[in-house]
Amino acid sequence: MAPVFLAMIVLVGGALVVAVMQNKNEEKEAAAAAAQAAEPVQTSNPFADRDNDPKARDGSKIGTKNTAPEGLDQTPLWVDAKVKADQGMALVKEASAARNKGDEEAFRAKGIQGRDLLDEALLNTGDWLISLQEMHPDDRQVARIERLRAKWGDAYKKVRKIN
């Protein structure tokens, strides 16, 4: 019985020694963390390159510059695409109305026609718009064209999966 009692005393004593050592390590780590927290942290400002002048931009996505030549919306490419897209938007609206009435055949027929017209308008103006964005960033005319094309894209999404 004495060896078992002695083994238990050694085991409990060893556990106490380990606990005291861990406590000392935790105190050292806490002191190191406190010292590190006391040092000022250098953070970079992600907006350092932005102009903080409130007059620089009006807060909207529309640019305040007019760097593009006047009449961008009168170029033949844009006029042709806009005519096709307007026809496509009208057909998509008709298709949506037909679907709401339960006429799936009319929805399918008008949806396909509208989708094809919108797809053609979007494809014809895509590269042109990218070049405009590169040459005239933050331009009001370019922003108007971007918004209109986004509306075309939203209408296209409504009918893109019709077979």
Q: What is the pLDDT of residues 18-35, one digit of tens each?
A: 777 777 777 777 777 777
pLDDT (0 to 100) of residue 105: 93
The three-state secondary structure class of 65 is strand
Structure tokens of 65? 């510059």
pTM more than 0.75: no
Is the confidence at residue 61, as pLDDT, over 60? Answer: no
pLDDT of residue 86: 95
Helix (H, G, I), strand (E, B) or coil at 139: strand
Cite the DSSP H helix spans in the chain. Answer: 2-38, 76-101, 104-135, 140-159
Predicted confidence (pLDDT) per residue in 109-145, tens digit: 999 999 999 999 999 999 999 998 898 888 888 889 9
Residue 73's pLDDT band (cuts 50, 70, 90)? confident
Is the pLDDT at 58 greater than 60? The verdict is no
Burial class of residue 26, CB neighbours in 10 A (0-12, 13-18, 19+): exposed
Q: Whole-angstrom Cα distance, residue 15 to residue 21?
A: 10
Nearest in space to 123 (alpha carbons), one of 92, 69, 72, 84: 84
Weakest-pLDDT range from 24-38, 54-68, 70-84, 116-130 = 54-68
For the chain, what are the domain ranges?
1-36, 72-159
- CB hemisphere CA count around 60 (13 angstroms): 10
Report the half-sphere exposure of 102 (CA within 13 A, side-chain side). 0
Q: What is the dihedral of CA 42, 45, 46, 49, to 10 degrees?
A: -140
For residue 112, give the amino acid letter: I
Position 68 scores a pLDDT of 79
